[in-house]
A = this chain, B = another copy of it.
Amino acid sequence: MSEYDSKRFPPFAVTVDVVVFSVAATFSLLLVRRGRDPFKGDYALPGGFVLPDESVDDAARRELAEETGLSFDETSGNYLEQLQTFGAVDRDPRMRVVSVAYLALLSHRPVIEAGTDAVEAMWHNVEDLPKTRLAFDHDDIASIALERVRAKLEYTTLATSLIGDEFSLAELRDVYELVWGCKLDLPNFRRKVLASDGFVVPTGKRRAASRGAPAQLFRAGGGRDLSPPLMRA
């Protein structure tokens, strides 16, 4: 990157913002409290500047790891995808910033350690999102991410990224119910899931719940797409 070249284009700051979801009794997303102005004290999405020698995708992974304490690894059942880029002129009052937003799904909810930036990070129930005002345009980003997760559960096997390695079909249905906020008929859900090639594979094991018959356990199959899709009510 020569001095000559760098004078020929308008310089922008490029950041990443990550909408991190996890399911554990509640469907929640990770928010941090801002330690400095602007929006000091408000909640915001975890994120930060992209560095000159890392790809934008890598920046998202790094920020996610820094913010959750988790060494983020897509091979361990977690999921990361690019959501959308936000490039309004005045989205940051300090300077011109283009932010690439990401969507992350965690298979386990990690215990959050205090961030390096003196920010508090905490899990926030998505049902409380409408009541929470986020910094910058993070309200928009979060609600777009939320709709994207909900939609993707319909036509992909992504629900398996929000649950541990081994799970019963009732637990998988619980993920759907928590994300979609509706009830699903377990018999019909079971048939759909088992009929979808590559969605889940039985492990052969069983696990006893507190009551009732012990459930068969499954693991995520290799498949990514669901056709026909599972529909919301």
Contact = CB atoms under 8 A, between A and B. Distances in A.
Contact of A57 (B2, B87, B94): B87
Contacts of A12: 11-14, 50, 98
A100 interface: yes
Interface string A1-45: 110011001111110000000000000000000000000000000
Nearest to A57: B87
Contacts of A13: 9-12
A54 B11 contact: no
Copies in the complex: 2
Nearest to A86: B56
A122 to B, nearest CB: 27
A91 B150 CA distance: 32
A51 interface: yes
A49 interface: yes
Interface of A: 1-2, 5-6, 9-14, 49-57, 59, 82, 84-85, 87-89, 94-96, 98, 100
